[in-house]
Amino acid sequence: MTISKFTCGAFLLSLGLLGGCTAKFLDEAPADQITDANFYQTQQDAIQAVTAAYSELTKEGQYNAAMWAFDIWADISSTGGDDGNDGIEYKQLEAFSIPTTNFIATRLWGGSFIALQRANIVIQKVPGIANMDPVIQKRCIGEAQFLRAKMYFDLVRAYGDVPLFKAPPTSPTAVNIPRTPAADVYKQIEQDLTDAIGNLPLSYSGDDLGRATKWAATGLLAKVYITEGKKTEAAQRAREVINNSGKTMWANYADNFKVENGNNNAKESLFEIQYVSGRNQYDRNQVGSAMNEFFGPRGANQTPGSGYGFNTPDPDFVSGYEAGDTRRAATVWAPGDTYPDGSKVASKATGSPFGYSCRKWFVGKVNTNIWDSGLHVPVLRLAEMYLIVAEAVGPTTEGLEAINKVRRRSFGLDYTVPSAAHDLTAATGNFTNAVLRERKYELAFEFDRWFDMKRAGTLYPTLTDHAFIPRMTQQAATLKGIAPNVHGIPTQNNLVLPIPQTEIDTNPGLVQNPGY
């Protein structure tokens, strides 16, 4: 079955595909032989249908493969791994030589459309369920609106114009619609999130922890607005989260990335991907995160499979940390660092000639299963809300205080207390660049950097003063085994991914992006 057939809604006729549960609230296993005709009758049916949409977040089409590419494609990391074709799907992106059959482009499209069509079913069917608590009914619709918006936000940023489905297709052929202008897709995203804010609760407890809240929807809307350049609206929504959500930043940056700090203890996180360990092995489409293994230092015997060394931090990125920035130690393994078993990080490794590897998603040998970490992945954090305010209002008193809160915490200081040593001031040159730089180091390996560079205009055409050039020329032969000045220079066509060839072949209404 092609990805296109998944997106057409045929998969929705059998809820046997609702598997892929994550945290406790995703543990409801569907009964066999349930069809669209006899489902959507009870409150449990509604909750289970929403669970199906959430489940795609943990898989290859989202945070277990596809989203990893957006730091490799930017100036954070290189593919790493072994030599030859290991990670070829990422190397194609990294070299800006991307076929229309690229695995990442295909899976991001497919996984996103599966999730949003499942959300469409919820939005269509759940209002008609009579035997249901109206509070839960409203919440389920809000969750589906949030998830549909999240998926379309990823799609429109990655591909540009995409087919816009406001309801599930009624037949396999009904999926064959043309691409909708990005501006209209953004309007729908804004509407969905505005509606979700009105439908979602402030918080959850017990087994429902991890579901989207009002503050997750508000924070995502702030991010959508800043992406669109709607700074007034972005600042307003980010302020709402900062002032009213009850969230605070961890005193220690690294505490955001500890297994024990998920959900109940997630004081800074607004929404996170729910991973669970101990349930699968060698499967990126189940409930465990593969990042501990894939990003773990290659061959260092620090993870159940000894580490694959993917997403290796680039030297330019690592050298950009300011002295005393605690985020470096939480994000990067560097030569001389000490592993949990007491051994030292070597000066170089296969796939990482400078010895760096990603530490942010490292949990070590917490169990014997491979590709099976339970570390949640934050999608939105309070720190990002401060940075959105700073970007939106500029070097005003409010903007400076917002970015300085993030900076103070990065140096291990009380983020509420001014610091003469580390605070930016009104005299700081190019404040917008300062905010984007802060985002680069605050959100590294949280898969935002390529999107930030794209909206800031530093992917193209301002290539001559960007880190792509030194990385892709001076280090090309070492990092990628290719000659300098031959590959790896982005062009205007690389502002979007190619539409997957499977989609072009199946849907005559689709037109490929330029340059592919």
Tens-level pLDDT at each residue, the chain (516 residues): 233 333 333 333 333 333 333 344 444 444 455 666 678 999 999 999 999 999 999 999 999 999 999 999 998 999 999 877 899 999 999 888 899 999 999 999 999 999 999 999 999 999 999 989 999 999 999 999 999 999 999 999 999 999 999 999 988 888 899 999 999 999 999 999 999 999 999 999 999 999 999 999 999 999 999 999 999 999 999 999 999 999 999 999 999 999 999 887 889 999 999 999 998 899 999 999 999 999 999 999 999 999 999 999 999 999 999 999 999 999 999 999 999 999 999 999 888 999 999 999 999 998 889 999 999 999 999 999 999 999 999 999 999 999 999 999 999 999 999 999 999 999 999 999 999 999 999 999 999 999 999 999 887 643 333 344 334 434 433 444 433 333 356 677 788 999 999 999 999 999 999 999
Angle, vertex CA 168, rays to CA 43 and CA 219, nearest 5? 70
What distance, in Å, lies between the first and last C-alpha atoms of the chain? Answer: 24
- Asked if the structure places residue 218 within a domain, the reply is yes
SS3 348: coil
Q: Which domain holds residue 52?
A: 43-480
**How far is residue 425's CA from residue 166's CA, in Å, rounded to a whole number?**
46
The dihedral sign for the CA sequence 430, 432, 435, 439: negative
Angle between helices 382-393 and 231-244 (to 10 degrees): 140
CA-to-CA distance for 487 and 397, rounded, in angstroms?
44
For residue 106, being part of any structural domain is answered with yes
What CA–CA distances, in Å, run from 391 to 227, 231, 372, 400, 409?
11, 8, 37, 10, 18
Q: What is the pTM of this model?
A: 0.90
> 3-state class of 131 per DSSP?
strand
Q: Work out the angle at residue 392's Cα, subtended by the Cα atoms of residues 62 and 262, and round it to the nearest 5 degrees.
A: 40
Evaluate whether residue 28 is within a structural domain.
Answer: no
Within a domain: 516: no
Which residues are 333's β-sheet partners? 357
Q: What are phi and psi of 149, to 5 degrees?
A: -65, -45
Q: 488 with 472: CB under 8 angstroms?
A: yes
For residue 431, being part of any structural domain is answered with yes
Count of structural domains within the chain? 1
DSSP SS3 for 289: strand
Residues 341/365, Cβ–Cβ less than 8 Å: no
140-166 per-residue burial string, b: 16 or more CB within 10 A, e: under 16? bbbbbbbbbbbbbbbbbbbbbbbbbbe
Residue whose token pair is 């269509």: 124
Any domain includes 488: no
CATH of the domain at 446: 1.25.40.390
> Is there a domain that residue 409 lies in?
yes
Question: Which amino acid makes up residue 459?
Answer: L
Amino acid at the residue 238: A
CA dist., res. 80 & res. 82, Å (int): 7
